[in-house]
Structure 1
Amino acid sequence: MKKFLVIIAMAVWIPSVHTQNNILRGVVKLQSSGSQPLSGVKLSAFGAGSIFTNDNGMFEMAFQGKKPGSPVSVFIQKDGYELINEKELEHCVIRQDPDDLILVVMARQGERNKQALAYYDIIVEKTNNNYDKQLSNIHSRLDALDEDDKSRQALRQQIEALQKEKETLLNRAEELAKQLATVDLDQASSIARDAYDEFNNGNIKGALLVLSDEILDKNYKEAKEEQLKLKQKLKASQNALSQSIENFMIKARFCSSDRQYDKALENYLRAYEADSTNVKNLIEIGDFYDDLNRQEEAIRYYHQALQNTTSTPLEAGILLKLGHQFSYNNNYPEAEEAYMEAYRIAEILFGENEGYYGQLLADIGLALGRMHIELNNDANGEAYYLQSIGLFRKLATIDPAKHNPGLADVLVSMGDLYSRMKDFEKANQSLTEALEIFKGLEENENNFVQEKIASTHLASAIMMARSEAFEKADGSFAEAISILERLAEDNPFQYEPQLASAQMSSSVMCYYWGEYKRSEEGYKKTINTYKRLITENPRRYEPAMAKTLLNLGGLYSTLEQFNDSEQAYAESLSIRKRLAEEDPQRFDPPLCHVLLNIAFLKKRILYTNYDMTQIDQALEILQKVESILEPYDDNLPWVKRYSGDANQFKGYFVDVTLEDLMVQTEIDKLIPIENRIEMESDLNVIVSLYKQIIDTLQSIKKTFPDNNRLNLKLSESYGNMSIYQIYNQQFSIAEKSALRGLHYDPEETWINSYLALALAYQGKTKQAMKVYEKFLNDQYQGDALKTYFIEDLVALESEGIIHKANSKLKEILGIE
């Protein structure tokens, strides 16, 4: 469940958030020219097009689909010039920082070759001179030796070696000359420039003297010392910079605590401008946007944190946060992708260290469970919950104080799931255990634990309300509200939102309990609370206000206070329409919800007042629903649900006639008898009451002989009566009732289940089997008729009503 924090969204400037740099910037200069820039140089690249350098030799290229570290190929051209540092540009990549400039060095066409040739001549001349000098020396030594002197052989070998060395050097002379010609003296050291001066004068030894070991060692030592000083200065400046950035973050937190949310956001963004790679800060800014209900901004900052983190556990944590944001936006495919990637990472970490990463895996499992339940995949949701519970139980044996609260949180979610699934026994077990854990915590008097206890009471109250144990539910609601009221007295900022939510849930329960006055009072009280909260944070609390107004409108509709209902719905619609314009993906579903409720109100007004103008108004509303749903995937659960509701309403409003309304009015007069049937246990009395209903319907049919709604009601009544006649073992009479039901509406094929049983229990087994065979593979309103056949037969047997034909019936139905 999303935490409640009161944070107001203000209109402030938001800097552009680059999730990743795709800009390549650089400068083009003339080789060894005193850093003279070159303008008008053409640079071209796939994915970035072509651009020209400006008067300062600067260029900027934006690459589509690239990110830091991506290699790019850039083609560089200027008439009359050639590229010098090709090798460096062969390995050109997008920088993390776009202001980390690429240096491109060019020379006038032919200048490099000219320089290389000059260097080549120097190398060749020096090589030949050295060779000639050394060869002359060896020949002088040979001339001084006798012909039979053994030293002559060694000197001849020296000559051979000297010739090979000369050949090797001459072979390399061209390559060496080219390498020397590529050096940009503007970027070289003063020592290197002095050495080049000597070399250009043909004085290689002079060049080597300039680059003597002593000079180079001294230069290297001085450079290292300077580097150390710079590092120390850099470290000090980095610390100062980090502290100054942290000051912005600290001020943002203080401003948030003082409800200065616009200033808080301003300082968070100043910290971001100063350092857009600080993962901790990026996450905190994302969390702040989350509290503002601004999911898109939160997603951008979380994404940027994800790209900058080098911590695998933190990566999983950020993915978990991203999954939450996508879920809040109803973007379940991306939510599942984020959750599953986080889950994959957490499983690997868990395999390395169960004790340390078990909670991370359990938390992600809890999130996945909640997402699947939102998607109505209760089985998957339950599986993830059970896994999380297992992990927390194991962790709690090692450190109960740390992990029992997490266990209790999952148990509350599990209890709510079982409550939704109507498995109230399991729901009660989970919620009771959760409550015991929270109450057993040593610090159970602190506000955090008291809040958890209140939340558990609230979940229990909702469970009891679902099971229609309204008095018990009322007691649990009172417990939860009492705790939250006490907490809200000390800290309204934190606990009023939860109090309002609990009051609304209690009001919903009172509605279903028939306590309409209490329900209305509760809704109005909740609305007043949200009005106060909206003055501070409209973005966060307007959705809850819209929901409360929707519920109040539904209450007024039930009470036939149609004007009040229309007003409440209109206020709810106004809020949801505005929210959907700002964030359609998140708020289109609740917008459809309120529109469908208004359509239902139109139906009630139409029925009550016979006001036929409501039809066109309702159809216009349903057309709006269809236009909202049109862009979305039909397989999304909420789209399926609302599309089905809209089609059902549309069918009603297109087909309904004044006669239908008049017939329905008469049919509704039978509701008290139907309520008596629900409370009755005597089969003879139930059958007698159904006969009263049928007699009344037959009387109405004299006035409206061909009305389809009336025929449907007669069909249902005969069909329902037939099963009670079967339980009363009046099989032949049950057969006639079932046939009468099918006569009035053959589309009510579920009645064939009772017809087959009535036939079989009279010994008409073949006829019964023919009924089964005919309808076995058919469906009724999306459900397999075979399921009806099996359930009804098994139910009869459980009551001890068994016939010898049952074995054959079971065989054809596939029951073992």
Structure 2
Amino acid sequence: MAIAIAESADTPARLIRRLVRAARDAPDAAAGLVAVICADPSTYLPLALSLAHAGVGVLDSALAEAIRGTDLSYEEWIVLEEIPPRGTGILPHAALAAAEQCRQRADSSVHIATALSAVEVRLSGVGRYRDALAASDEAVILWRELEAADSATHTADLAKALRTRGFVLSGVGRYRDALTASDEAVILWRELEAADSATHTADLAKALRTRGIALSVVGGRLDALAAVEEAVSLWRELVVMDPAAHTPDLATALSTLGGSLAEVGRRQDALAAVEEAVSLWRELEVMDPAAHAPDLATALSNLGVLLADLARNRDALAAANEAVGFRRELEAADPAVHTADLAAALVNLGSILARLGRNQDALAAARESIGLLRVVAAIDPAVHTHALAKALLNSGNPLGGLRQSGKALTVTEEAVGLLRALVAEEPAAYTADLSRSLVNLGIQLSEVGRRREGLAANEEGVALLRKLAADEPAAHNPYLAAALIHLADRFYDVGQREEAAAAAEESVALFVRLHSDLPQVYVDELAASRHLLDSLTPKPFK
């Protein structure tokens, strides 16, 4: 929600702006900001939420404190909750406090359902996915009851709640349930769009993209591609009618389409989609840099990864460097909001540099990303610990390339420790990452001569992947097949050739099935697994 703010020498906006700046520079000054807001919340709280563009830390905490100590009506709180933009990382705890105030003051079924939906989104924004899911459970139940009583008024509300629920379920690792919610949302939006296309085509397009993301994990990559392609087609139609309103959505959908095309081996088509997305974001960024520079930076990072996959290394590096350049400018202007995004861009840059064999430069990028993520994870561990663990794992590649096996092992062990702690809190969300990190740990342990420990780590990772693949084969069989290759290597390292051959044989069987569905994607992996099995199979004496 945007608020127009006029300033003169003695306006409340001028006072709040000074207090916000003071609170950023000196944490003790935050108490003064809270006192001013609490003295006249109707005047000062909307201004503070609009002017305080900070994502985490003292200012966010101060505003959350002020909100919790303020008594306003439901109608006022529902407006205030919408001021911090959703999905941006701006003032996540203050926004959550405002949503919780809405919930406490809601006195009708419609108000309660609306407030619960807001709480769900804001809880997700601070990494509290389990609590967000509980809010979603309540919200969807209420919207179903309201829709049953008055479908003309509330079907759209139910459809929105189901689409959001799909995101939250993915956040806790319940991908099949996420797909179920997304499927229902698409069905409802199709009915609404058929009755009123002018109003609901955009909603259908958003729901189709959400469904495509869920399908890519559990429902099959080709079906995911079909859903995203339909979403892009709808956005193209909408852009023709109103380019200013819908071009950002088209650009977002094109980025998703690029990922879906890459997952089915159509890398050239994927590159075309992402290049179109980058072109659109460039045009939008020129018109409104503050709004669209982050989107352009994200699209450039995706472009870099695709170009690297196509061995266009110089172009990949240029795209990744440009993305980091944008992120550095954004982070310099507002560190609290953009530090984590800068770290993510540096992780991508480091991966590309490592592919190019520039391990020293890759290690420098990895270390910078880890340093940034340590800072934000210390402030808000629920949101950033997972990203820190992944950055630590990525730093192991250049360290290995520089023959610094001991240091590679150290960072991998730290990553595994962080992921174990996350799994203890949210097993469904983080077990997959832990399983893959254990496979990496097995490799690192073997490289420093600790082969039995390496085998044990690899076996633990494969055991976790077997359980995951039993529930969601489409999502986890590719990782299980690859992990079995490494398990065969670990068995061979300790002289257990029969066990090594059995693991390799299982890997080949999995890759045969995967190759039959997506030959372009798995041709190299199938060949590698067959070569390994052949090397481990005893040959008849001649």
Same fold (TM over 0.5): yes
- Counterpart of 2:378 in 1: which secondary structure? helix
Q: Larger radius of gyration, structure 1 or 2?
A: 1
Question: For 1:254-269, what aligned pairs fall within 5 Å after superposition?
Answer: 255=51
For 1:746 and 1:565, the matched residues in 2 are separated by: 36
Q: Which amino acid aligns with 1:282?
A: W
Give the direction of change, closer, same or farther, for the CA distance of 1:443–1:537 in structure 2 (3 Å limit): farther
Contact 2:317–2:352 under 8 Å retained in 1: yes
For 2:115 and 2:354, the matched residues in 1 are separated by: 45
Contact 1:404–1:437 under 8 Å retained in 2: yes
Q: Which amino acid aligns with 2:498?
A: D
For 1:450 and 1:749, the matched residues in 2 are separated by: 52
For 2:238 and 2:246, the matched residues in 1 are separated by: 8
Question: For 1:630-669, what aligned pairs fall within 5 Å after superposition?
Answer: 631-634=421-424, 636-656=427-447
2:227 counterpart of 1:430: yes
Offset of 1:251 from its aligned partner? 4.6
For 1:788 and 1:255, the matched residues in 2 are separated by: 54
Q: In structure 1, what is the equivalent of residue 76 of structure 2?
A: 281
For 1:442 and 1:506, the matched residues in 2 are separated by: 23
Q: In structure 2, what is the equivalent of residue 415 of structure 1?
A: 212
For 1:499 and 1:276, the matched residues in 2 are separated by: 40
For 2:490 and 2:427, the matched residues in 1 are separated by: 36
- Counterpart of 1:13 in 2: which secondary structure? helix
Which of 296, 300, 325 aligns to 2:97? It is 300
Q: In structure 1, what is the equivalent of residue 414 of structure 2?
A: 624
2:240 counterpart of 1:449: no
For structure 2, which runs of at least 5 residues remain unmatched after alignment? 3-16, 452-487, 518-542
Q: Which amino acid aligns with 1:281?
A: E
Contact 2:201–2:234 under 8 Å retained in 1: yes
Offset of 1:337 from its aligned partner? 0.3
2:333 counterpart of 1:536: yes
Give the direction of change, closer, same or farther, for the CA distance of 1:372–1:516 in structure 2 (3 Å limit): same
Offset of 1:295 from its aligned partner? 2.7
Q: In structure 2, what is the equivalent of residue 748 of structure 1?
A: 501
For 2:510 and 2:332, the matched residues in 1 are separated by: 54
Give the direction of change, closer, same or farther, for the CA distance of 1:510–1:553 in structure 2 (3 Å limit): same
Offset of 1:529 from its aligned partner? 0.9
Question: For 1:277-676, what aligned pairs fall within 5 Å after superposition?
Answer: 277-288=72-83, 291-420=88-217, 423-441=220-238, 444-606=241-403, 614-629=404-419, 631-634=421-424, 636-656=427-447
Give the direction of change, closer, same or farther, for the CA distance of 1:275–1:553 in structure 2 (3 Å limit): closer
Q: In structure 2, what is the equivalent of residue 50 of structure 1?
A: none
Show CA shifts across 1:310-329 (max 9, x none).
13222212212222232233
For 2:52 and 2:33, the matched residues in 1 are separated by: 23
For 2:61 and 2:510, the matched residues in 1 are separated by: 63
- Counterpart of 1:748 in 2: which secondary structure? helix
For structure 1, which runs of at least 5 residues remain unmatched after alignment? 18-240, 607-613, 661-707, 716-742, 753-779, 796-816
For 2:217 and 2:275, the matched residues in 1 are separated by: 21
Question: For 1:135-154, what aligned pairs fall within 5 Å after superposition?
Answer: none
Contact 1:533–1:541 under 8 Å retained in 2: yes
For 1:302 and 1:454, the matched residues in 2 are separated by: 30
- Counterpart of 1:384 in 2: which secondary structure? helix
Offset of 1:15 from its aligned partner? 8.3
For 1:583 and 1:268, the matched residues in 2 are separated by: 16
Contact 1:272–1:282 under 8 Å retained in 2: no
Q: In structure 1, what is the equivalent of residue 11 of structure 2?
A: none
Give the direction of change, closer, same or farther, for the CA distance of 1:268–1:278 in structure 2 (3 Å limit): farther
Relative to structure 2, which stretch is displaced further, 287-296 or 518-527?
Answer: 287-296
Q: Which amino acid aligns with 2:447?
A: V
Offset of 1:286 from its aligned partner? 3.8
Show CA shifts across 1:605-636 (max 9, x none).
32xxxxxxx33323332343344345444352
Offset of 1:578 from its aligned partner? 0.4
More helix by share: 2
Contact 1:14–1:269 under 8 Å retained in 2: no
For 1:651 and 1:632, the matched residues in 2 are separated by: 20
For 1:293 and 1:253, the matched residues in 2 are separated by: 10
Relative to structure 2, which stretch is displaced further, 547-556 or 316-325?
Answer: 316-325
Q: Which amino acid aligns with 1:339?
A: S
Give the direction of change, closer, same or farther, for the CA distance of 1:750–1:530 in structure 2 (3 Å limit): closer
Q: Which amino acid aligns with 2:74?
A: V
Give the direction of change, closer, same or farther, for the CA distance of 1:512–1:300 in structure 2 (3 Å limit): same
Question: For 1:212-223, what aligned pairs fall within 5 Å after superposition?
Answer: none
Offset of 1:394 from its aligned partner? 1.5
Offset of 1:746 from its aligned partner? 3.7
For 2:323 and 2:92, the matched residues in 1 are separated by: 26
Contact 1:444–1:450 under 8 Å retained in 2: no
TM-score, normalising length from structure 2? 0.72
Give the direction of change, closer, same or farther, for the CA distance of 1:492–1:602 in structure 2 (3 Å limit): same
2:4 counterpart of 1:13: no
Offset of 1:602 from its aligned partner? 2.5
Show CA shifts across 1:73-121 (max 9, x none).
xxxxxxxxxxxxxxxxxxxxxxxxxxxxxxxxxxxxxxxxxxxxxxxxx
- Counterpart of 2:324 in 1: which secondary structure? helix
TM-score, normalising length from structure 1? 0.49
- Higher RCO (CA-CA < 8 Å; seq separation 6+): 2
Give the direction of change, closer, same or farther, for the CA distance of 1:14–1:503 in structure 2 (3 Å limit): farther
Show CA shifts across 1:520-562 (max 9, x none).
1011111111122123322222111101101111112222212
Offset of 1:14 from its aligned partner? 5.6
Question: For 1:34-45, what aligned pairs fall within 5 Å after superposition?
Answer: none
Taking every aligned residue pair, what percent have the same amino acid on both sides? 16
For 1:305 and 1:470, the matched residues in 2 are separated by: 46
Contact 2:64–2:97 under 8 Å retained in 1: no
More strand by share: 1
Q: Which amino acid aligns with 1:530?
A: R
- Counterpart of 2:265 in 1: which secondary structure? coil
Offset of 1:268 from its aligned partner? 7.9
Question: For 1:159-198, what aligned pairs fall within 5 Å after superposition?
Answer: none
Show CA shifts across 1:267-288 (max 9, x none).
9899969952222433444444
Contact 2:117–2:161 under 8 Å retained in 1: yes
- Counterpart of 1:745 in 2: which secondary structure? helix
For 1:429 and 1:284, the matched residues in 2 are separated by: 38
Offset of 1:563 from its aligned partner? 1.1
Contact 1:252–1:265 under 8 Å retained in 2: no
Offset of 1:453 from its aligned partner? 1.5
Contact 2:116–2:135 under 8 Å retained in 1: yes
Give the direction of change, closer, same or farther, for the CA distance of 1:349–1:566 in structure 2 (3 Å limit): same
Give the count of matched residue pairs: 448
Give the direction of change, closer, same or farther, for the CA distance of 1:524–1:422 in structure 2 (3 Å limit): farther
For 1:255 and 1:577, the matched residues in 2 are separated by: 27
